[in-house]
Amino acid sequence: MSTDVARPNATHLAAKRALKRKEAYIGWGFIAVPMALLLFFNFFVFIYAIYISTQDWGILGSKGGVGVENYARAFQDPIFLKAVRNSLLYAAIVVPLQTALGLFLALLVNAKVRGAKFFRATFYFPSIASSAAITTLFIFLMAPDGLFNRFLSLLGINVENLFNSGAWLSDSRTALYSIIGLNAWTTSGTMMLFYLANLQTIDGSFVEAASIDGASKRQIFWFITMPLLKPAHFFVITSGMIGAVQLYDQAILAGGADGSPDYSLMTMVLYIYNLSFRQLQFGYASAIGVLLFIIIFGVTLIQRQIFGSRAWSAED
Amino acid sequence: MAALALLVPLAAPAHAATVTVLSLATWGSSPAETEALNDAIATFEVRNPTIDVQQVVHNDHNAQMIAKFASRTPPDVFYLDAGVAQDWAAQGILQDLTSYIVASSFATKPFNESYLAPFKVGSALYGLPKDANPLVLEGNKTLMAKAGIKTLPTTTKEFDAAAKLLLKMKITPMCVDADINRLGAYFYSFGGKIASGNKSQMNHPGTRAALTWALTNFKTGAFRTPAQLSAGWAGEAFGKGLCAFTMEGAWLDPYLRDSFPGVYSTMIKGQLPSAKKGGSLAFTAAYAIGKDSVNKDAAWKFIQYMTSARGMGVWTSYGVAIPSRSDVATPLGYEVNGIAAKAKTTVTTPSFVGWSNVVGAFNNEAKKQIQDKNFDVRKAVASIISKTTAAFPK
C-alpha distance from A50 to closest chain B C-alpha (Å): 18
Are residue B249 and residue B378 in the same domain, yes or no? yes
User: Of B368, B375, B387, B394, which to mutate for an interface test with A (greatest number of A Cβ within 10 Å)?
Assistant: B368
Q: Which residues make beta-bridge pairs with B311?
A: none
Q: Domain for residue B5, yes or no?
A: no
Q: Which residue of B has its CA nearest to A166?
A: B228
- What length is written for chain B? 394
Q: Sort out which chain B residues have CB atoms less than 8 A from A279's CB and list them.
A: 87, 354, 356-357
Q: Sort out which chain A residues have CB atoms less than 8 A from B373's CB and list them.
A: 165
Answer yes or no: do A171 and B371 touch at CB < 8 A. Answer: yes
- Residue A303: pLDDT band (50, 70, 90) is confident
Of A144, A262, A279, the CB nearest to B230: A144
Q: Domain for residue B11, yes or no?
A: no
Helices (H) and strands (E) in chain B, counts: 18, 15
Q: What is the pLDDT of residue B320?
A: 80
Interface of A with B (CB under 8 A): 58-60, 143-146, 163-165, 167, 169-173, 257-263, 274, 276-280
Q: Sort out which chain B residues have CB atoms less than 8 A from A169's CB and list them.
A: 227
Q: Which residue of A has its CA nearest to B242?
A: A145
Contacts of B197 (CB under 8 A, 6+ apart): B352
For residue A132, the surrounding DSSP H or E stretch is helix A131-141
Are residue B33 and residue B104 in the same domain, yes or no? yes
- Residue A235: pLDDT band (50, 70, 90) is very high
Answer yes or no: do A279 and B357 touch at CB < 8 A. Answer: yes
Q: A142 vs A7, which has greater pLDDT?
A: A142
Q: What is the pLDDT of residue A160?
A: 85
Of A221, A273, A227, nearest to A247 (Cα)? A273
Which amino acid does the sequence have at A123?
A: F
Given a contact cutoff of 8 angstroms between Cβ atoms, the answer to whether B91 and A59 are in contact is yes
Angstrom distances, CA of residue B1 to CA of A277, B5, B15, B126:
65, 6, 21, 56
Q: What is the pLDDT of residue A124?
A: 85
Answer yes or no: do A169 and B87 touch at CB < 8 A. Answer: no
Q: What is the pLDDT of residue A309?
A: 57
| Residue B372 DSSP SS3 | coil
Count of domains for chain B: 2
Are residue B147 and residue B235 in the same domain, yes or no? yes
pLDDT above 80: residue A238: yes
B76-135 per-position pLDDT tens digit:
999 999 999 999 999 999 999 999 999 999 999 999 888 999 999 999 999 999 999 999
The Cα B188–Cα B186 span in angstroms is: 5
Our CA dihedral for B224, B225, B227, B230, rounded to 10 degrees, sits at 40
Q: Domain for residue B12, yes or no?
A: no
For residue B21, the surrounding DSSP H or E stretch is strand B20-27
Q: Sort out which chain A residues have CB atoms less than 8 A from B92's CB and list them.
A: 58, 60
Q: What is the pLDDT of residue B10?
A: 46
Are residue B59 and residue B146 in the same domain, yes or no? no
Residue B200, domain CATH = 3.40.190.10
Of A167, A258, A280, the CB nearest to B363: A258
Of A270, A186, A74, nearest to B364 (Cα)? A270
What integer is the mean pLDDT of A107-111?
88
A249-272 per-position pLDDT tens digit:
999 999 999 998 999 999 999 999
What integer is the mean pLDDT of B136-161?
97
Are residue B188 and residue B159 in the same domain, yes or no? yes
Of A39, A47, A43, nearest to A286 (Cα)? A47
| Residue B296 DSSP SS3 | helix
Answer yes or no: do A59 and B91 touch at CB < 8 A. Answer: yes
pLDDT above 60: residue B254: yes
Answer yes or no: do A172 and B368 touch at CB < 8 A. Answer: yes
Q: How many CA atoms lie within 13 A of A205 on its CB side?
A: 0
* A-B contacts (CB, under 8 Å): 73
| Residue B280 DSSP SS3 | strand
Query: Domain residues of chain A, as ranges?
Result: 2-52, 71-312
Q: Sort out which chain B residues have CB atoms less than 8 A from A172's CB and list them.
A: 367-368, 371
The Cα B228–Cα B214 span in angstroms is: 16
Answer yes or no: do B228 and A170 touch at CB < 8 A. Answer: yes
Output the CA angle A236-A238-A243, nearest 5 degrees: 90
Q: What is the pLDDT of residue B374?
A: 87
The Cβ of residue B328 has, within 10 Å, a number of other Cβ atoms equal to 23
Given a contact cutoff of 8 angstroms between Cβ atoms, the answer to whether B300 and B51 are in contact is no
Q: Sort out which chain A residues have CB atoms less than 8 A from B354's CB and list them.
A: 279
Buried b (16+ CB within 10 A) or exposed e, A56-89: bbbbeeeeeebeebbbebbeebebbebbbebbbe
What is the Cα A137 distance to its own chain's centre? 23
Given a contact cutoff of 8 angstroms between Cβ atoms, the answer to whether B184 and B135 are in contact is no
What is the Cα A273 distance to its own chain's centre? 19
Of A167, A172, A278, the CB nearest to B228: A167
Across B37-76, the runs of DSSP E, i.e. the strands, are 51-58
Are residue B188 and residue B255 in the same domain, yes or no? yes
What integer is the mean pLDDT of A290-307?
91
Q: What is the pLDDT of residue B372?
A: 85
Answer yes or no: do A172 and B373 touch at CB < 8 A. Answer: no
Are residue B227 and residue B363 in the same domain, yes or no? yes
Q: Is the dihedral of CA B46, B52, B57, B58 positive or negative?
A: negative
Given a contact cutoff of 8 angstroms between Cβ atoms, the answer to whether A257 and A241 are in contact is no
Answer yes or no: do A58 and B364 touch at CB < 8 A. Answer: no
Of A172, A258, A280, the CB nearest to B371: A172
Phi then psi for B118, rounded to 5 degrees?
Answer: -60, -20
The Cα B119–Cα B123 span in angstroms is: 10
Given a contact cutoff of 8 angstroms between Cβ atoms, the answer to whether A241 and A233 are in contact is no
pTM score of the predicted model: 0.87
Q: Domain for residue B295, yes or no?
A: yes
Contacts of B5 (CB under 8 A, 6+ apart): none
The Cα A271–Cα A289 span in angstroms is: 10
What integer is the mean pLDDT of B216-240?
96
Q: Are strands B199-200 and B195-196 parallel, antiparallel or unpaired?
A: antiparallel
Phi then psi for B179, rounded to 5 degrees?
Answer: -125, 135
Answer yes or no: do A60 and B91 touch at CB < 8 A. Answer: yes
Answer yes or no: do A260 and B363 touch at CB < 8 A. Answer: yes
Are residue B53 and residue B188 in the same domain, yes or no? no
Given a contact cutoff of 8 angstroms between Cβ atoms, the answer to whether B384 and B189 are in contact is no
Are residue B210 and residue B330 in the same domain, yes or no? no
Of B91, B363, B365, the CB nearest to A58: B91
Buried b (16+ CB within 10 A) or exposed e, A213-238: eebeeeebeeebbebbbbebbbbbbb
For residue B137, the surrounding DSSP H or E stretch is strand B136-140
Q: Domain for residue B196, yes or no?
A: yes
Which of A259-273, B4-18, B333-347 is least confident? B4-18
A176-227 per-position pLDDT tens digit:
999 999 999 999 999 999 999 999 999 889 889 999 999 998 999 999 999 9
Answer yes or no: do B364 and A263 touch at CB < 8 A. Answer: yes
Of B92, B364, B372, the CB nearest to A60: B92
pLDDT above 50: residue A315: no
Q: Which CATH class is domain A71-312?
A: mainly alpha
Interface of B with A (CB under 8 A): 62-63, 66, 69-70, 72, 87-88, 91-93, 225, 227-230, 354, 356-357, 360, 363-365, 367-368, 371-373
For residue B247, the surrounding DSSP H or E stretch is strand B245-248
A18-53 per-position pLDDT tens digit:
999 999 999 999 999 999 999 988 889 999 999 999
Q: Sort out which chain B residues have CB atoms less than 8 A from A276's CB and list them.
A: 66
Q: What is the mean pLDDT of chain A?
A: 90
- What length is written for chain A? 316
Which of B166-180, B295-309, B334-348 is least confident? B334-348
The Cα A73–Cα A279 span in angstroms is: 15
Q: Report the complex ipTM.
A: 0.86
Q: Sort out which chain A residues have CB atoms less than 8 A from B363's CB and list them.
A: 258, 260-261
C-alpha distance from A248 to closest chain B C-alpha (Å): 16
pLDDT above 50: residue A7: yes
Given a contact cutoff of 8 angstroms between Cβ atoms, the answer to whether A83 and A271 are in contact is yes
Are residue B59 and residue B101 in the same domain, yes or no? yes
Q: What is the pLDDT of residue A6?
A: 52
Contacts of B26 (CB under 8 A, 6+ apart): B37, B55, B56, B57, B58, B61, B78, B79
Buried b (16+ CB within 10 A) or exposed e, B84-103: bbbbbbbbebbbbbeebbee
What integer is the mean pLDDT of B281-297?
97
Of B353, B342, B306, nearest to B129 (Cα)? B306
The Cα A69–Cα A48 span in angstroms is: 17
Q: Sort out which chain B residues have CB atoms less than 8 A from A274's CB and list them.
A: 360
Q: How many CA atoms lie within 13 A of B365 on its CB side?
A: 23
Q: What is the pLDDT of residue A63?
A: 94
Given a contact cutoff of 8 angstroms between Cβ atoms, the answer to whether A230 and A312 are in contact is yes
Q: What is the pLDDT of residue B3?
A: 44
Q: Where in the sequence is the domain holding B259, given as residue range(s)?
A: 135-281+350-390
Which of A8-12, A253-257, A295-299 is least confident? A8-12
Are residue B54 and residue B157 in the same domain, yes or no? no
Q: Domain for residue B96, yes or no?
A: yes
| Residue B77 DSSP SS3 | strand
The Cα B45–Cα B42 span in angstroms is: 5
Q: Domain for residue B174, yes or no?
A: yes
C-alpha distance from B71 to closest chain A C-alpha (Å): 8
What is the Cα A187 distance to its own chain's centre? 10
Is the peptide bond between A261 and the residue preceding it cis, with omega within 30 degrees of 0?
Answer: yes
Q: Domain for residue B6, yes or no?
A: no
Which of A128-137, A300-309, B12-21, B319-328 is least confident? B12-21
C-alpha distance from B74 to closest chain A C-alpha (Å): 12
Angstrom distances, CA of residue B191 to CA of A154, B345, B385:
49, 10, 16
The Cα B3–Cα A310 span in angstroms is: 98
| Secondary structure letter of residue B96 according to DSSP | P
